Amino acid sequence: MDKDRFSILDFKRKKVSGEKITMLTAYDYPMAMIIDKAGIDAILVGDTLNMVVLGRESTVSVTMDEMIHHCKAVRRGTRRAFLIGDMPFMSFQASSEDAVRNAGRFVKEAGCDAVKLEGGREVVERIRSIVTAGIPVLGHIGLTPQSSSKLGGYKVQGKDAETAKRLMTDAADLEKAGCFAVVIECVPRELALKITKHVSIPTIGIGAGNHCDGQVLVTHDMIGLFDGFLPKFVKKYADIGNSIRE
């Protein structure tokens, strides 16, 4: 392994030092190379590839084989960044055995450094099993797109006292289960700050304000390469799609 590659220890080090963690999505070899050479800490091969690359309406229908295919391509373009594979819908929900088997595919077949799972207390046993098998896990709470229909759509989570308390508890439960960090998506910035102070693992925000220990964005949103919709929290740095059209 390259001695300069970002590691699990670097996530914790940055939280302790107050230096922000940077994370972007990539789904193919050329974008992975660009992000890696730019010095971004971590690359997430998100299940968002189902929408921004494969043209489907949501993240739900992407398969394990499709995720592995894209993770392999990203791995070939990555030298320094920490690589995380996003476990798709129904790859871990049915049983801990499924969870460990599919997480293992991300590491063994695709060369990922870790996997990401959506959910709070309901997935603690899955996370514990994967971590016990020797595979690092990034948690994900707040707006969890795979279960958005259960949450009432793509809406801000934790706006009332009851759901805010639940998210605080979920974050603590994920830490106890062995997650090395947790993504917090679409929650009020004040709640994100409380969670960040409440847990000792790093928090990675997406639409959760600037108080998290790091930030993750969908690269295609940030550079204007996907025009299906643009979340309000995304700062658009370029309009590559329009430049290509011109």
Q: Which of 97, 185, 190, 246 is catalytic?
A: 185
| Distance, CA of 179 to chain centre | 12
* Cα–Cα nearest to 29, from 66, 61, 76: 76
- What contacts 24+ positions apart, CB below 8 Å, involve 211-214? 212/184, 213/14, 213/15, 213/20, 213/21, 213/181, 214/14, 214/20, 214/21, 214/22, 214/23, 214/41, 214/181
The C-alpha atoms of residue 156 and residue 75 are separated, in whole angstroms, by 33
Instruction: Give yes or no: 185 in active site.
Output: yes
Instruction: Name the residues annotated as catalytic.
Output: 185
